[in-house]
Amino acid sequence: MNWFGIILVTLLLIALQDKWSWISEYPDAFILPITGWLNVMMDWLVSNLGWFFMGVSWFLEWPIQSVQWALHALPWAATTFIFCVLAFVASGWRLVFFTLASCLYMVVIGYWPESMNTLSLVAISVPLAILIGFGVGVWGFYSSRAERMIMPILDMLQTIPVFAYLLPILMLFGFGTVVGLIASILYSFPPMVRNTIVGLRQVLPEVIESGVMSGATPRQLFWQVRVPSAHKQLLLGVNQSTMASLSMVIIASIIGGTSDIGWEVLSTIRKAQFGESLLVGLVIALMAMVIDRITAGMATRSDDYDRENKTWVQRHRYWIIAAIGTAIVFALAQMVTVLSAWPREMEFSPAREMNEALTYFIINFRAEIESIKTFAFFFIMLPTKIGLQGAISPFTWGFELKTWHVIVYTISMVTLALLSGRRWGIKINILVLLLALFLYIGVTKMPWPAMVLICVFAAWRMGGRNLALGTFLGLIFLVVTGMWFEAMLSVYLCGIAAIISFVLGTAIGIWASTSEKVSSIIRPINDTLQTMPLFVIIIPFVMVFKIGEFTALLAIIAYSIVPSIRYAEHGLRNLPEGVIEAATMMGGTNRQLLWQVKIPLALPVMMLGLNQTIMYAIAMLVIAALVGTNGLEQLVYIGLSDGDFGLGIVAGAGMAIIAIIVDRMTQAWSKKRQAQLGLEV
């Protein structure tokens, strides 16, 4: 069996699908009612163990309430002061100014209380997530059996769409802030686990042995040798967990009941108050950036304290400054009310002006916006979705698809495949043929047995038997639960986004790798996009292009292009010196060097970038359900809003399955390729 066989079978299946309808559509009668079973199970759980979860919920309310109380009781000036001290300790004056500006922004546009509500959730969820993550990580570190069990669960927790597990939490723990808290803990402890395991494992054996020889008891060895030696990695985990927690707290506010920043963004988007939503979105982004910089700064801070020549006061100077300063600011705020409660009339919000500007822009450029949208829709999205056979009509392309068109298409594609096969080898030949086939039939119109066959075969070629088996089982799950069509819609949207992101991003990455200037411009943009909560990225696109698949596509591209750029640049900049020098000495031009030496060598790293791009695309797709898409992500969202637990979970699992399959395939390929090239990433 080889690829040509697979293509033949695919053609056969396509030809036969009119005769046997089960090929094109999996019969409803055979759909397993997993959704129903899950709902029954959930009902049982709620009615029998509900008291337990409610108890936990009640118990968790307390710390949230008290932190909220404290953050509201403190005047904004005092809180800001504390943050500035933290920023100084973590990094220095620049971060202090940034923090100060961010805090002032929140105050001045009048969203300070909402920001503090969000912050209080983060403040509780992060420590809990870190504790849990550290504990689980330590367990995984000491027992490889435990590790094998933990890792797939982490994969699931990080790939199942957020919306899918909001509902069960809601059903078990009841309405309220606790839902956000638990969801955010579930989502944010996995990075801590991973970093804990990696960090503890990285400690050099000599360091451990020297600890043993210093006479450490096992407990001392762990707490005074192993953990501190791993502290950089652990703090990296803290940073990642914090960011994950923040993004989840924001998303969780979709269920409402909390007057926090996430809720404000959502409701302003729903009310089509775009100026407001952008301004509030910026609050989230600023908050994320400040927290990220502070925790990252703590992680990389080089401790330069010198204990023995310092007095107690010197050693604890930051604590003292923070305490005294806060007290002073607090006292001041009692006298100068502006420092505790910013008066309404002093609030400044350019939201109205922004709305007007937007309206002006949309009215004046309506034609251009519409034509971009139509073009993309008719010539890119529709053909991928339902194929050329469906997309071409007098209404869209201006002519009808005739037999001779098909013949010309077939001949030219086969020629193209043969030519490129001759130039770059048989693999490219097959790739072109497959792409041509998909473009003609359409991702969603491809018969499911053919799709399963192609994917499983690809998995087998890339990663061997186990991967093929896993892929098969995963895809069959999608089939028998009756979600195949929605799954393909998700694949189609993600697929286009990922391909565009990868091509564009890699091009930008290549450019950045040749020019310091470009690189230094691109880097902060990437950083910002990566710390930006997903909600916020959507806002500008919704403003201009309104709700719809095209908007979703743009938002996904904006977010998922980042890893492609990063990895391409990284891969090209970190090639083995010797090879480049050798090629230069052979008299290669810059262009030859790039295409024939650098890119092939950097390809495995770029593939990892593709992998990350797809993962990012899937993450964004879930959020994009809010602006109107039709795939699995929409089912998840519907499950949430209809309270259909089973539907949400099954669709969510479906998305996780797609994500994990793609992840394993690209990783397997990249690893194989690296091994061939003898490189390490």
Q: Which is nearer to other proteins, 2 or 210 (CB)?
A: 210
CB of 294 to other proteins, least distance (A): 20
CB of 238 to other proteins, least distance (A): 16
**Which pair of tokens denotes residue 436?**
């041509």
What residue has token string 């038997």? 465
- Residue 133: name the closest of 191, 200, 50, 67 by CA: 191
CB of 316 to other proteins, least distance (A): 15
Q: Which is nearer to other proteins, 302 or 311 (CB)?
A: 302
What residue has token string 């591209």? 557
CB of 195 to other proteins, least distance (A): 16
Distance CA(86)–CA(83), nearest Å, equals: 5
DSSP assignment, residue 304?
Answer: -
DSSP-assigned letters across all residues of 77-96 = HHHHHHHHHHHHHHT-HHHH
Sign of CA dihedral 614, 471, 434, 568: positive
CB of 678 to other proteins, least distance (A): 25
CB of 303 to other proteins, least distance (A): 8
Task: For 198-237, list the strands marked E by DSSP.
Answer: none
Sign of CA dihedral 145, 147, 150, 155: negative
Query: What residues make contact with other proteins under the rule CB under 8 A?
Result: 204, 206-207, 209-217, 220, 224-225, 228-229, 231, 302-304, 306-309
Q: Which is nearer to other proteins, 310 or 352 (CB)?
A: 310
CB of 132 to other proteins, least distance (A): 24
Q: Which is nearer to other proteins, 208 or 677 (CB)?
A: 208
DSSP assignment, residue 226?
Answer: I
Q: Which is nearer to other proteins, 207 or 323 (CB)?
A: 207
Q: What's the 3-state SS for 636-668?
A: HHHHHHHCCHHHHHHHHHHHHHHHHHHHHHHHH
Distance CA(33)–CA(147), nearest Å, equals: 33
CB of 300 to other proteins, least distance (A): 13
Q: Which is nearer to other proteins, 27 or 215 (CB)?
A: 215
Q: Which is nearer to other proteins, 45 or 216 (CB)?
A: 216
Distance CA(339)–CA(317), nearest Å, equals: 25
Q: Which is nearer to other proteins, 304 or 516 (CB)?
A: 304
Residue 506 near residue 564, CB atoms below 8 Å: yes
Q: Which is nearer to other proteins, 205 or 587 (CB)?
A: 205
Please, which residues have CB within 8 angstroms of residue 211's CB and are 6 or more apart in sequence?
Answer: 220, 221, 224, 225, 226
CB of 142 to other proteins, least distance (A): 17
CB of 314 to other proteins, least distance (A): 13
Q: Which is nearer to other proteins, 65 or 214 (CB)?
A: 214
Helices (H) and strands (E) in the chain, counts: 33, 0
Long-range contacts at 331-336 (CB < 8 A, ≥ 24 apart): 332/77, 333/75, 333/77, 333/78
Q: Residue 215, Cα to own-chain centre: how many angstroms? A: 45
Q: In one letter, which amino acid is 311?
A: T
CB of 296 to other proteins, least distance (A): 18
CB of 230 to other proteins, least distance (A): 9
Angle formed at CA 507 by CA 505 and CA 509, multiple of 5 degrees: 70
Q: Which is nearer to other proteins, 224 or 389 (CB)?
A: 224
DSSP-assigned letters across all residues of 528-549 = HHHHS-HHHHHHHHHHHH-SSH
CB of 344 to other proteins, least distance (A): 50
Sign of CA dihedral 291, 293, 294, 297: positive
CB of 134 to other proteins, least distance (A): 17
Sign of CA dihedral 104, 109, 115, 117: positive
Residue 84 near residue 99, CB atoms below 8 Å: yes
Please, which residues have CB within 8 angstroms of residue 539's CB and are 6 or more apart in sequence?
Answer: 265, 269, 274, 277, 278, 281
CB of 221 to other proteins, least distance (A): 9
Q: How far apart are the first and last CA of the chain?
A: 33
Residue 490 near residue 631, CB atoms below 8 Å: yes
What residue has token string 């770029």? 606
Q: Which is nearer to other proteins, 315 or 352 (CB)?
A: 315
Q: Residue 608, Cα to own-chain centre: how many angstroms? A: 15
CB of 206 to other proteins, least distance (A): 4
574-to-119, 428, 666 alpha-carbon distances in Å? 39, 27, 21
Q: Which is nearer to other proteins, 218 or 524 (CB)?
A: 218
Q: Which is nearer to other proteins, 89 or 354 (CB)?
A: 89
Q: Which is nearer to other proteins, 307 or 591 (CB)?
A: 307
Q: Which is nearer to other proteins, 157 or 227 (CB)?
A: 227
